[in-house]
Amino acid sequence: MEGKSITDEVSASKIPILPLLQGTTTLTEALEEEENMHVRLRYPTQRADFFLWVYQHRKDFEAIVSYHLGLDNGETCRFGDPKEWKHGSFNLCVPIQTHNWRKHPGKRVMLRIPLPYKVGESTYPGNADEKPCKPD
């Protein structure tokens, strides 16, 4: 323990560990980063809040998916369990299981939802809106 005081040892053991979307960082490391870590440090909370919002609105998403798949009476779809959800840097993908779908029996489709905190929705409202493209 040469060169370190007991105070240094205690302080080092109490350095807060901060969650990131992938991995963790310490306050010291965050302060040393050149990029604005404040934005990256908010992502885990924003992700949890967004995932909760999506889960709370799953019936709405099921209705939208049913409409777009053209499901008729007796044909239904079910939102995937959160443990089945996948996400990357910019999208959340939710498996949707279909039931009694006559066109494609037993098929599963994926619903891709942009992560609003990664596409600048809070800074630039409407940024995540679907943008229609002109045909060539």
- 89 domain residue, yes or no: yes
Nearest to 30 by CA among 18, 44, 43, 14: 18
Residue 109 buriedness (CB in 10 A; 0-12 / 13-18 / 19+): middle
- 3 domain residue, yes or no: no
Please check the confidence at residue 10 and state whether its pLDDT lies above 60: no
Residue 12: alpha-carbon gap to chain centroid: 32
Range of the domain at 22: 12-114
pLDDT of residue 13: 58
Q: Could you read off the pLDDT of 62-109 as tens digits, one per residue?
A: 999 999 999 988 899 999 999 999 988 889 999 999 998 888 888 899
Total count of domains within the chain:
1
- 40 domain residue, yes or no: yes
- 97 domain residue, yes or no: yes
Q: Could you read off the pLDDT of 22-73 as tens digits, one per residue?
A: 777 777 777 777 777 777 788 888 989 999 999 999 999 999 999 999 998 8
Neighbours of 111 (CB within 10 A): 21
Alpha-carbon distance 38 to 35, whole Å? 9
